[in-house]
Structure 1
Amino acid sequence: MGQNNNDGFKVKDNFDDLCYACRTGDVENADRLISMGVNINQVDKFDNSPLFLASLCGHIEVVKLLLERGAICDRDRHEGARCIYGALTDAIRDMLLSYDISKAFDTNQPFATHISSLLKEDELNTNDLLLDCKDDVKFSTHKFMLIARSPVFDTSNPNKLSTTFKDIPSHTLGILLEFIYLIPILHEIRSTDFPDLIKLANTFQLKTLSEFLNKARHMTDPVQKSTLMIAYQYKFTELARNQLKNFVKNDIIGRHIELADDSNILEIPDPAKSLPFPDIYLVVENHTGTKRMYPCHISMLSRADFFKELVKSDFQDGRKYRLRRSSPAKADDVTDILCLELPTCEFGVAESIINYLYYDRADIDPNHAFEVIRIGDYIMASRLKNIAAAVITQSPDVLVSDTIFDVLHLAWETGVERLEQFGAKYIAQHIQELSSSRELYDVILESSRRISSREELDTIELVADIRFYLLGKYDLEPDDISLLETDADDTEFLQSLGLLDYKDDMIALNKIVTDLGLSI
């Protein structure tokens, strides 16, 4: 049975009704149901989301409504790809794609969306390679992206990047580049495109694309073709993620430079002519004072707002090092390279940041999670902070080297709500053993001071959260508390409900608040 909402309707029934409205195109009813608080991003028993049903059945107004109300169409995920390639009409598909790359979703900067933006709308102008094709059309690309994604660009001799494709029509090369940059193009491929595109995919050694094209070229059933597109689009994204993972491991982290001193003269290969063709270096000093430089790319670091804003400000805060060429023709043959210094952290933390920005890696070492959150806060990467927070809350050893009070201070310092809730829940679970702790008194007092303009009836956020989790600890509802008054003499009954233990915990919590001279 579904849980009742305030109007007496069952939440499960409401969701089923929403799915039906999405299948039938009933915009008004869908709007009404959404306004009642139905979770529009869940799925039914057939694993279909409301957005998928509306797009599959061709109801563009319902699709628009769902997107405006927060339905997620993230093609990094299988469900997002299903929505796009299962759409009945091109108009719906275009709407889904535009929402996928719109500012509404840029707050999370998903992996595939960011890669796509580098080809279609690279506002930072980070490209460093022009590809010429048959009809004198030029495509601006990135050397590192082509090397990472296509084996035809030999990393052992990177200066032999082919920049001329005079025998290839711009339409065909454009489709192939969109594939490389993870732009969904499978639905745009015409029957006349297949011969040239298969040939070009083989030339670039793009085996997965070639495999799809050979399967799809003779397919006439639109349902089968749509199913094939869905399966392969997700496969393309994961393939790109693994390719960039290998590139980062071998050519970014693997090519870091140890800084022996603080000199501004560096004798390293010319970045413009050697792997990984960096246009920026991240300088990291660990807690022992050792420094490293990591060759990176502004285009990928810009997933974090700090780097994006730095580019827009023309790197006013960046440090310039002098680069001396490995075999200079003249003694003064030097040039400037841009370097940015991260706050002091372990190298493993910096490398976790780089991995995340390049290919969305989420398996952060729990020992590094605290520092990852602090650096993530510094570079304004809120999604990275939330990923690292999840590592902390799910690690059984998190409170071995750090206390729950360290977690709370980190949460307040960096604005990570997940950690605040984790801290409050832990305190609720251990209130009796922590009730005499000086640290608990201190964090409750600090929480009270975090209220900017304290009024007599203001609640202390941490105390309110602990009270909420105390109810959950004993599986109680707010209305159950009244039983402490009405059945005060029935001790056995109250004990069976957990109310007496709950009462003891509340007494311990309220004592701390009273001792601090705060309002209960």
Structure 2
Amino acid sequence: MSKPTPQTNDLSNIDLSPEDFNSSLPIKKVPYGDVFEAARAGDVDRLRYLLESGVNVNARDQWDSVALYYACLAGHLEAARMLLENGAICDEHTFDGDRCHYAALNLKVRKLLKAFEARPPPLGPLQAALRETFLGCTANRDILELSDSQLQFSGSSMLDGPNYNHFPPDIVFYVHGRPIEAHRVILSARSPYFKKKFETVWKDRREVRFSKEKLSYPALYSLLHFFYSDRLEVAVDDMEDLVRICSVCHCEALRRVVEKELNHQRFTDFKALREVDSSQRRFILQGLSLPEEDRLPAALHHILLLSLTNSSMEQDFGNVADSLVTSVGRLQIHEHEDDLADITVRVDGRVFRCHQVILASRSEYFKTRISRMADFLEVNDDLLSHALPCLEEHDLSHEAFEKMIEYMYTDGLKNVEPRQAEELFDAASRYLLFPLKRAVADALLPHLEMASPSELCHWLLLADMYGVLKIREYCLDAMACNFETFADTREFQAMLLTLPPPSGDSSLRTTAPSAPGAGGHSDQGNILDDLREKWLEIEAAELDERDESALLFDKRLDMLMQTAEQEQDMSDSID
């Protein structure tokens, strides 16, 4: 991985030159060290490996210190920036942020922290979409005091007028007369307390008013925001109230983390902050700090399984018996649970129970369809449960739709068959769910390791057509490394006839190739140009050999094309 340059858009205002990123202290190598040792030593290679492996960038060691603190203390600017780009918290008036600011070895480190402190850590697509839905609710948006940079982060510019057409809430809580708008399925998925209430005393209510004087509006707001985004942002002064609310809502994992942090905040000597109003101090928690089963994707995955099980009761009569056999295990577990579905989608003869807020938050296509669905009910005698609003989708198999909603609810895919990939790539484009392509690619790559050359030719054309860069790069790398093996196959030769010829631009041969398709699908490079560049990297590393080697490669392609044309002519004449 090439070393990133500091002159990026995010860092353009911090007045740092490339020389400033040279370490203030000697850099050591810690090939087996943890994230704290790597940050303290300035070992960016080890740090990169750990971050790519999914280590929690805001984790604390036995001395309650985060990795960013050690990087700042030692003046390792490159290591500090790598941690910041991966979501390390550095905001002033947070405990970890203040420690980093005051421990910074020099002004260069402080400038770097200032450049990142107003930018929230990145969220996954699921969390970002649902957070935008929560903040898009009128009452929540009016109350929340966010800076422009925070609003812009949450998705595609909430500050723009069209994004104020939010998905409407189905429940409103009033705390001391102040409203918080929310959606039942999200709260039920995250909290047993809310789930029980919505199944009993709050089942038909649109408003819930709390009269308890001790109930804290900021703490409840922070908790509901966390339910949608897997990010907790709470003032230190409100943490004690939040601990009590977590206990009532049976959010035990979150309660334990907040309670531990609260005790830490109480007994830490804030010498550097004595002149700062303590109400400004905040605590920020990322969902990665909690066990996987207590995060948003796991909670929605449970709701999805329940909905799929209950969906068997709304299928056409011809499919009901078969579906009951295949779903009997799940029915025994969930037969008494309410999935809170508020919409059905009929696909390929099957009816799926879904949730409008999930579909609308993840896909602009479904958001538009649902917004135009007012007062529309499809009631059929063959439905075995109460009627729900129904959408009907065509030209899509029910297996592909089930995989698509699996991604919409969980941000992941399991057990994707290669035969499903093309349909899912098409569905991602049709339903404006473009991140789905990356998830399919991740699930598909292990299958491609065993694919034949002829199959890889097929996947290359498919990936180029749908703009799936990861699959496209994998196929091109395999072809470049095993070019003669591919050249001997009929499929590769036939593929050459369907592709635009190489550009012949000699400037491409003496410069480092850029990533194909880096500017988007419309800007994807010529496949044969990209294949040639990858082959040259392997076969002609020396710059002065590249022109000669490129000419040889082009001549080889010409010969293969001529052979393919001759075989095609012979085949046409026989037919």
Band of TM-score, shorter chain: 0.5 to 0.7
Do residues 203 (structure 1) and 248 (structure 2) align?
Answer: yes
Rounded to whole Å, the distance in 2 between the matches of 1:401 and 1:344 is 29
Conserved in 2, the CA contact under 8 Å of 1:322 and 1:335? yes
Shift of 1:185: 3.8
Change (3 A) 1:171 1:179: same
The residue type equivalent to 1:388 in the other structure is V
Rounded to whole Å, the distance in 1 between the matches of 2:492 and 2:473 is 15
> Partner residue of 1:508?
556
Query: What is the total number of aligned residue pairs between the two structures?
Result: 423
> Partner residue of 1:490?
none
**1:448 match: secondary structure:** coil
Change (3 A) 1:232 1:361: same
Q: Deviations over 1:467-488 (max 9, x none)?
A: 1222244473443346x7xxxx
Any unmatched runs of 5+ in structure 2?
23-37, 52-56, 59-66, 102-112, 138-164, 271-281, 319-336, 509-524, 566-575
Match of 1:141 among 182, 191, 213: 182
Shift of 1:441: 3.4
> Partner residue of 2:15?
27
Conserved in 2, the CA contact under 8 Å of 1:116 and 1:182? yes
Do residues 87 (structure 1) and 127 (structure 2) align?
Answer: no
Q: Deviations over 1:223-259 (max 9, x none)?
A: 9xxxx9677642248422222222222x222222353
Q: Deviations over 1:376-405 (max 9, x none)?
A: 222222221022123333325662697123
Change (3 A) 1:307 1:457: farther
Rounded to whole Å, the distance in 1 between the matches of 2:345 and 2:488 is 46
Change (3 A) 1:139 1:185: same
**1:283 match: secondary structure:** strand
Rounded to whole Å, the distance in 2 between the matches of 1:326 and 1:374 is 30
> Partner residue of 1:216?
261
> Partner residue of 1:121?
136
Do residues 465 (structure 1) and 530 (structure 2) align?
Answer: yes
Rounded to whole Å, the distance in 2 between the matches of 1:402 and 1:255 is 42
Shift of 1:319: 8.8
Shift of 1:207: 0.6
Conserved in 2, the CA contact under 8 Å of 1:81 and 1:234? no
Shift of 1:435: 2.8
> Partner residue of 1:426?
478
Shift of 1:144: 0.6
Change (3 A) 1:140 1:55: farther
Rounded to whole Å, the distance in 2 between the matches of 1:281 and 1:315 is 12
Task: Please provide the CA RMSD for this pair.
Answer: 4.9
> Partner residue of 1:265?
none
**1:479 match: secondary structure:** helix
Change (3 A) 1:357 1:237: farther
Shift of 1:111: 2.7
Q: Give matches, 1:390-429, under 5 Å.
A: 390-396=442-448, 399=451, 403-429=455-481
Rounded to whole Å, the distance in 2 between the matches of 1:359 and 1:205 is 22
Rounded to whole Å, the distance in 1 between the matches of 2:70 and 2:395 is 46
Conserved in 2, the CA contact under 8 Å of 1:301 and 1:307? yes
Do residues 158 (structure 1) and 192 (structure 2) align?
Answer: no
Do residues 45 (structure 1) and 97 (structure 2) align?
Answer: no
Change (3 A) 1:96 1:429: same
Match of 1:284 among 347, 365, 368: 347
> Partner residue of 2:235?
188
Conserved in 1, the CA contact under 8 Å of 2:190 and 2:227? yes
> Partner residue of 1:479?
544
Conserved in 1, the CA contact under 8 Å of 2:453 and 2:486? no
Do residues 179 (structure 1) and 226 (structure 2) align?
Answer: yes
Shift of 1:296: 2.8
Q: Deviations over 1:258-281 (max 9, x none)?
A: 53269xxxxxxxxxxx93333332
Conserved in 1, the CA contact under 8 Å of 2:129 and 2:361? no
Do residues 339 (structure 1) and 357 (structure 2) align?
Answer: no
Change (3 A) 1:507 1:325: closer
Change (3 A) 1:436 1:199: closer
Rounded to whole Å, the distance in 2 between the matches of 1:474 and 1:371 is 37
**2:412 match: secondary structure:** coil
> Partner residue of 2:310?
255
**1:152 match: secondary structure:** helix
Change (3 A) 1:426 1:506: farther
TM-score norm. by structure 1 comes to 0.65
Do residues 383 (structure 1) and 448 (structure 2) align?
Answer: no
TM-score norm. by structure 2 comes to 0.60
Change (3 A) 1:513 1:461: farther
Change (3 A) 1:28 1:465: same
